[in-house]
Chains A and B, each alone.
Chain A
Amino acid sequence: MAEIVGGFAVSHSSLMVTRPDLVASEVAERCFAAYEAVRESITALRPDALIVVGSDHFNTFSCEAMPQWCIGRGNSHAGWADNIPMYTIPGDPALSQELLESLLRQGFEPSFSDSMRLDHSFFGPLHFLTPAMNVPVIPIFQNCIMRPFLTLARAYALGVALAAAITTSLSEKRIVIVGSGGLSHWIGGPKHGRLSPEFDREFLARFMANDVEWLTSQTDDLEQLAGNGGQEIRNWLTVRGALAHGTAQELLYEPAYPWIVGVGVAALSV
């Protein structure tokens, strides 16, 4: 039986990768120290694979087909070099297939792709967390970009189902799950650059406490409260659902305006 041995939730920003100089040096140091702590933790956990729940920014998906979820099942997954370096990472098609089959049995119907490319939603965090790009990744795209969105409750439930799916795996792999996205940020529109530290601090407190009712209660207000980028908290909720009985620790919160993201980093135990 495979097992989840740890989980993490982190923000992503292509500017964090390519323009560390935009923020004050002490801000950058705090942020990179938190990501480095996660990298060290992942290394210590000796995972055979990472499940990374991320999003997209109209690089891989667009209006002709927008799944609520898409699970990568390829032997490898290439990036887009979308304002970050070009990366490719190995996949784990057998484990992806097991997850897909289990999710279907549990009432989830994700799309799947053997050629899904991954943008900075995935490779932004991986740039810091697995810089050698040598740990196989099962990427799960979750729609956080275009209405209509899956509910926050469903994003949390996906995590619960993923945890159950992993326990039914015939392999004995050690799995680390990572959620990538959020916290608040307004991107592209007239409020481009706005953050909401107030929302972020409230969210982080509720996330650490696993206050499922609050976490899943945000609906149409979410974009008003946390911006269009705030929709990515779904990826945090999936990790929380996968480790619903574990404890969570906030490693960092930093409203990094020049990077256009409220940077949050959290570690979850089994």
Chain B
Amino acid sequence: VSTYGVMRQIQQWYIDRDVSGWVATASPAELLERAEFPLTADEAAALHDRRVDLLLNAGVHAFSLVQLSRVFGFDISSRWRELGARSNDCPTRD
């Protein structure tokens, strides 16, 4: 798994987010086509589907997932809960 490519691509989108508004609504094929760093089809699908669990398990750093959430416009706590993180893993309030 080319976690390097995934992390660098997320970083690039995060840096260029003012000009990359297309990312959040792109299809996996469009993500692959316009990616500047190496991505596989599975990785593009995982990015498209906001599968932070798959990406983390593949070695993508948790900080990169925060960047991903900002680029793609989703709440990362909510996403983890949707994906089945135990509720007691996510105490976000006193």
| Chain A interfacial positions (CB closer than 8 Å to B) | 57-59, 62-64, 80, 82-83, 145-146, 187-194, 228, 255, 257-258, 260
Q: Which one, B3, B8, B76, B89, contacts A188 given CB within 8 A?
A: B76
Q: What residue in chain A is nearest B94 (Cβ atoms)?
A: A257
Q: Least Cβ distance of A58 to chain B in Å?
A: 5
Chain B residues within 8 Å of A228, by CB = 62-63
Q: Which one, A80, A83, A146, contacts B70 given CB within 8 A?
A: A83
CB <8 Å contact, B8 and A192: no
Query: How many pairs of residues, A versus B, come closer than 8 Å at their CB atoms?
Result: 79
Q: Which of B8, B66, B85 has the most CB of A within 10 A?
A: B66
CB <8 Å contact, A58 and B63: yes
CB <8 Å contact, A257 and B80: no
Chain B contributes a number of interface residues (CB within 8 A of A) equal to 30
CB <8 Å contact, B61 and A255: no
A62-B11, A255-B94 known; A194-B63 Cβ under 8 A = no
| Chain B interfacial positions (CB closer than 8 Å to A) | 3-4, 7-8, 10-11, 14-15, 52-53, 56, 61-67, 70, 76-77, 80, 85-86, 89-94
Q: A57-B63, A187-B62, A190-B85 are in contact. List 18 more A-B contacts (CB 8 A).
A: A58-B7, A58-B11, A58-B14, A59-B15, A62-B7, A63-B4, A80-B15, A82-B14, A146-B61, A187-B63, A188-B61, A188-B66, A189-B56, A189-B65, A193-B90, A194-B89, A228-B63, A260-B92
CB <8 Å contact, B61 and A193: no
Chain B residues within 8 Å of A64, by CB = 4, 8
Q: What residue in chain A is nearest B12 (Cβ atoms)?
A: A62
CB <8 Å contact, A191 and B64: no
CB <8 Å contact, A257 and B92: yes
CB <8 Å contact, A192 and B80: yes
CB <8 Å contact, A193 and B62: no
CB <8 Å contact, A257 and B91: yes
